[in-house]
Amino acid sequence: MGPIFALFAVIALVLVAFVGAGVANLHFLFGVVIPYAAFAIFIVGFIYRVLIWWGSSPVPFCITTTCGQQETLPWIKQSKLENPSSTSGVIGRMALEVLLFRSLFRNLKTQMVEGTKLVYGEAKWLWLAALAFHWSFLVIVVRHLRFFIQNIPAPLKAIEGLDSFLQVGAPLLYISDAVILLAVTYLFLRRVFIPQVKYISLAADYFALFLILSIAGTGVLMRYFLKVDVVGVKELAMGLIGFNPVEAKKMQEIGVLFYIHLFLVSSLLMYFPFSKLVHMGGVFLSPTRNMTANSRMKRHINPWNYPVHVHTYEEYENDFREKMKGAGIPVEKE
């Protein structure tokens, strides 16, 4: 049910773009208006999510999840990255988390063997696929900058060069294209074939995967198989960032596949701030990871800390004075 619904949703998006740009010739709508709107929704929505929605709530307590030895006596070695008590440690921990998915790397597979024995095995495939997916996605996004820059800078060329270092195919195969398709396919298959993961998966989880798969798929089709007018694409892109859209005739010549691709990307951008994809920002704001584990060294302030009713010592002594005296415990009032 979930995957089928998500699949139809993505097919519907493809059809909308196909009909809109390919049949109804609404090139200005699909090539200019929707991309602008999508970008605006993405930026505003993401800023809202991070700064307004999350940012408006304080972090009242220092709730670091400590994954290593605390800072303690000088002769005991602290785990400075897994239990960081300094800002540099936190930066290191976050860098490992964001760039290398350190926590996911810990993943284990818990299994029952011989009826009643639990064993814990390596389980690195999820980590590998997730890392491959996110990094290839990033490389692809960076590569797309060439459409928005007149003279391609050297670092960008270097990335393109590295990404195509296998030197196969014409045009040269980008490794990131192959990797993203494989990784997303793996992420989809594990959702379907691991019973527990299937059980927790929502339609939204499949939708995100299918949407990204279709974006990568249409991109690959355009580059390697059903060529579109790349010069026209660049002109359109340059027009977009220069707020000077190209003329309608040129837009028509690009080819409908491009508009499908662009519409899917626009859909992703619009969907992003309202979905689980906000984990892109959230990972930086997760208190269990981004807080310094120095709560006994430095007082953490809770902005909404308020006075509470307590049972005072005086009240306690009033309740138990005679018993205390009987037991030889000193009291304040005889």
Partner 1 sequence: MAKFTAKPDELSKIDFTPPRTRWMETPVEIREHMFCHAAKPKELDVVGFPNGHEWRPQDEDWKLPENWERMLLEKMSDLLGKYRSFKVFMDICVRCGACADKCHFFIGTGDPKNMPVLRAELMRSVYRKNFTAAGKILRKIAGARDLTVNVLKEWWYYFYQCTECRRCSVFCPYGIDQAEITMMGRELTNLLGLNIGWIAGPVAACYMKGNHLGLEPHTITSSVEFFLDDIETITGIRINPSFNRKGAEILFVTPSGDLFANPGTYTAMGYLMLFHELGLDYTWSTYASEGGNFGFFTTNEMAKRLNSKIYAEAKRLGVKWVLGGECGHMWRVLHQYMDTWNGPADFLEVPKSPITGTVFENAKSTKMVHITEFTADLIKNGKLKLDPSRNDHLKVTFHDSCNTARGMGIFEEPRYVIKNVCKHFYEMPEDTIREKTFCCGSGTGLNASENMELRLRGGFARANAVRFVHEHYGVNMLANVCAIDRATLSTSMDYWVPGVGVTGVHELVGNALIMKGEKERTIDLRMEPLPGKEGAQ
24 DSSP assignment: S
Backbone angles phi, psi at 109, to 5 degrees: -115, 120
61 binds partner 1 (CB under 8 A): yes
User: What residues contact residue 89 under an 8 Å CB cut-off, 6+ apart?
Assistant: 80, 81, 292
Considering only 29-37, 116-124, 151-159, 228-236, which stretch makes contact with partner 1 by CB under 8 A?
116-124
**Residue 240: CB minimum distance to partner 1, A:** 27
77-96 residues near partner 1, rule: CB under 8 A: 77, 79, 82-83, 85
Residue with smaller CB distance to partner 1, 86 or 252: 86
Residue number with CB closer to partner 1 (146 or 191): 191
How far apart CA 92 and CA 83 sit, in angstroms, is 11
Cβ-Cβ contacts under 8 Å for 317 (sequence gap 6 or more): 324, 331, 332, 333
Q: Does 286 bind partner 1 (CB under 8 A)?
A: yes
Q: In terms of Cα–Cα distance, which of 60, 58, 80, 59 is closest to 69?
A: 80
Instruction: Give the one residue of 151, 167, 193, 195 binding partner 1; rule: CB under 8 A.
Output: 195
Distance of closest approach, residue 329 Cβ to partner 1, in angstroms: 5
| Member of 150, 310, 333, 334 binding partner 1 (CB under 8 A) | 310
Which one among 66, 87, 88, 318 touches partner 1, defined by CB under 8 A?
Answer: 66
By CB under 8 A, tell whether 309 contacts partner 1: yes
Cβ 295 to partner 1, closest distance in Å? 5
Stretch that binds partner 1, among 69-77, 139-147, 161-169, 212-220 (CB under 8 A): 69-77
CA 179, CA 174: separation in Å to the nearest integer? Answer: 9
- Interface pick for partner 1 out of 16, 47, 59, 238 (rule CB under 8 A): 59
Q: What SS3 state is found at 292? A: coil
Of the candidate residues 43, 44, 72, 138, the single one contacting partner 1 (CB under 8 A): 72
For the segment 27-56, give every residue that binds partner 1 (CB under 8 A). Answer: 49, 53-56
Question: How far apart (Å, rounded) are the C-alpha atoms in residues 200 and 189?
Answer: 14
**Is 194 near partner 1 (CB under 8 A)?**
yes
DSSP 169: T
Nearest to 289, CA basis, from 123, 139, 89, 153:
89
CA-derived radius of gyration, the chain: 28
